[in-house]
Amino acid sequence: MQLSHAWPQDAPRFDDGNLVSCAGLVPVMALAEQAGLSELVAGKVAFTATMVASAGANPAGKLTAIVAGMAGGADSIDDLNIIRAGGMPRLFDHVYAPATLGQFLREFTHGHSLQVASVARAHLVNLVTTTGLLPGIEQQAYVDIDSLLRPVFGHTKQGASFGHTKISGKQVLRRGLSPLVTTISTDHGAPVVAGIRLRAGKSGSGKNAASMVAEAIRTARAAGATGEILVRGDSAYGTSTVVNACVTAGVRFSVVLTQNRAVQRAIASIDKHAWTPVRYPGAVLDPDTGELISDAEVAEVEFTAFVSTHHPVTARLIVRRVRDRAKTDELFPVWRYHPFFTNNAEPTVQADITHRRHAIIETVFADLIDGPLAHLPSGRFAANSVWAICAVITHNLLRAAGCLAGGRHTAARGATLRRELVVVPARLARPAGRRVLHLPSHWPWSMPWTAFWDAVFAIHTPAAA
């Protein structure tokens, strides 16, 4: 592309109060209200005493303003100014300055963050019932749990401490905060976040995992998961408390076990003829031999875990083994073993494939980090906790928007949904007192955007006479 005209120095002028940079926030926030976001906040979040008299006023308006800013791309408190530019105050009520919203976040305590977490769960349930999010949830639902470490660099961040994380496959220590996240997904629906709990960076990955799993299961049930639920996790969650939480809730589990001596004995007891090659989706055939390049094999054995506790559990120990290619001078095959413990009723090979799909939670982490969770902006721990919960509400809201837009947007990344459905420039006009949004002609995603708009405002369209 080349410029078609020569531009004078004084050509750009920030002086039009009728232009909006995020016209997609109109249907997005209308969808949030249809799912009862403001009513839930008003009914669940209450401040009895505040450091600043007016800071805790109108929590519904302020929390929805934060969610709107995040949906528009804000990843810090200053970025929330996006909702005040141009004609945005003409489209929305309760448009607050970032300083006001920052002071509001600093008023939160741990108890208040639990109230907002309750709002996030109830709002997700309403989104599922309103938009058809999570198709097929009544037959099969998957609850995944994992943690991540978000680095922080200020020395005044409450709760910040050194924790383990992986960078380029290597374990390193980084100073930060560690959110624990649970997600809900289906065979035909992209994952949404059931809950998030901010913890100190040094917290073990499995801390509070059992209660988070129990909350996620209750949320899935409330959202319509009347069929089977499978809880998946890595070795940090292969514990007696997590597994027994699943057993108590009447759901299936699939968690990795640490290879202690009992697990190693169980693996050694597997007959050498019991191993079955597994064909993973997307596996590649060797053009010379016609065999799978992946040489993974699976087998299973009955196993009783947690025998030293009051609640031992007997289920299937499914083991995946792969050749250790680091041993190039081997006289006989050397294998690396990856066991997981499950009461999944699927055949061994399919149960292994289903367990490995636990990695879908990493796509949620990528979305959150590429969006509002890029930073934890406050020095106060409770404020950052509420910021993380608002990021989850925004993620689920954008996922519901993509579901209504249809097509590839049902599984699109958060950045794609923001770029194509939310951050759409428009000019606000009022011919004959009727509000009209003039959007760019030839907008590449005008059809899904219009489908999203029509789906949100259909129930408000007056019937023809």
pLDDT (mean) for 297-324 = 93
Rounded Cα–Cα distance for residues 124 and 227 (Å): 19
Quick: pLDDT tens for 38-49: 999 999 998 887
User: How is the chain split into domains, by residue range?
Assistant: 19-41+51-110+388-459
Q: Is 399 left (phi over 0), alpha (psi -120 to 50) or beta?
A: alpha
Q: Is residue 294 pLDDT above 80, yes or no?
A: no
From 183-192, 366-375, 455-464, the region with the lowest mean pLDDT:
455-464
Q: Over the chain, what is the mean pLDDT?
A: 90
Helices (H) and strands (E) in the chain, counts: 14, 14
Residue 242: what pLDDT? 97
Quick: pLDDT tens for 227-275: 999 999 999 999 999 999 999 999 999 999 999 999 999 999 999 899 9
- 401 close to 394: Cβ distance less than 8 angstroms: no
Rounded Cα–Cα distance for residues 109 and 201 (Å): 19
- CA terminus-to-terminus distance, the chain: 50
- Token couple for 389: 């919960």
Rounded Cα–Cα distance for residues 67 and 377 (Å): 15
Rounded Cα–Cα distance for residues 268 and 261 (Å): 10
The strands making up 19-20's β-sheet, listed across from edge to edge, are: 19-20, 426-429, 436-438
